[in-house]
Amino acid sequence: MTKILYVEDEPFLGKIVKESLESRGFEVCMVADGREVMAQFRAFEPTICVLDIMLPHRDGYTLAQDIRQVNPTVPIIFLTAKTQTEDVLKGFQNGGNDYIRKPFSMEELIVRIQNILNLTLQKKTTSTREGVVLGTYTFFPHKYELHRAEAIRKLSHRETELLSILAENRNSTVNRRDILKRVWGDDSFFNSRNLDVYITRLRDYFREDTTLEIVTLKGVGYLFKS
């Protein structure tokens, strides 16, 4: 059963969302106070977290950072009334996988939960514990590491997300907009420039193996040749 840690301090909204999720077969642990979240996270071991941002004592951004320290891969969805672009960006920068603005429909929340869970399952089936072999490198997405011989490079969350997409689609074109939606949540100009920076980093990481190449397909996306 999918276990959802739902953090919301509005009692009326929280009750509706919790009951709606449970009616669809999810197991839900609801927490209203930010300072109680990490204890519940460790005890409940959720499949996915749905976090409000404005909370008593500890905000959702801080909680996401704490959760990432304990579990770097558990999906996190932010729920908030904040609408400014910088607020959205801050959510993704603090480890969020998706962002839903209030008010929202239960149908939208369910779809987003299912989409993230499907992506997570896809990653698990395509990336084994033995790692993904990429030329003379081995990529361990679950450990956020890229190995070559005895050298180990630690990867950031975003680097791991991006390389996972490229590795899953080796020798196939990956649409730039799809990458932006999956890794950053939207295809804004700011995120597009960030993507360019991350692609440059990955190219540099693979520079010692000339059989590997990340090709930019102008106006389309990328092709990871291996």
Q: pLDDT tens for residues 102-144?
A: 888 999 999 999 888 887 666 555 544 568 889 999 999 888 9
Sign of CA dihedral 52, 54, 57, 60: positive
Tell me the residue length of the chain: 226
Tell me what pLDDT residue 128 has. Answer: 47
Residue 186 reports pLDDT greater than 90? no
State the burial class of residue 64 (Cβ atoms within 10 Å of its Cβ: 0-12, 13-18, 19+): buried
Do 3-124 and 132-225 fold alike per CATH?
A: no
- Record: fold of 132-225: Arc Repressor Mutant, subunit A (1.10.10)
Whether pTM exceeds 0.75 = no
Domain boundaries, the chain: 3-124, 132-225
Is the domain covering 3-124 a CATH 3.60.15.10 domain?
no
Q: Over pLDDT 90: what percentage of the chain?
A: 50
